[in-house]
Amino acid sequence: MAVRIPQSLLTGLQPETGWSVLDYELREQKARTLGTLSSQVEQALAALRVFDAEAHEPDRERRHRALLDDAADLVLAFMIQRELCGLRN
């Protein structure tokens, strides 16, 4: 009687190829970039919160707009990277 390995276990026994190594490296880099962007978004939003809590300054509107634009750019970059990683909800 021959014994066969369950199909669910065969996927882990696939030989490692150049493409699978490259795919792993690309996924790792995408995940690292997503983590970095996540931290940058958090920092930008924290800076915006701190700025909003401060007293009024003469050039407040211009600085507020610049902080808001930076935060919006980072959120957009985060969302694009999230899509590239295939982490859609």
Q: What confidence tens digit (pLDDT) does each residue in 11-34 have?
A: 655 667 778 888 889 889 999 999
| Entry pTM | 0.69
Among 31, 71, 15, 65, smallest CA distance to 47 is for 71
Residue 11 belongs to a domain: no
User: How confident is the model at residue 35, as a pLDDT?
Assistant: 93
Per the structure, the complete domain to which residue 54 belongs is given by 22-84
Residue 56 domain-assigned (yes or no): yes
Burial class (CB within 10 angstroms; exposed 0-12, middle 13-18, buried 19+) of 77 = middle
CA-based diameter of the chain, in Å?
86
Assess if residue 58 is contained within a domain. Answer: yes
Number of structural domains the chain divides into:
1
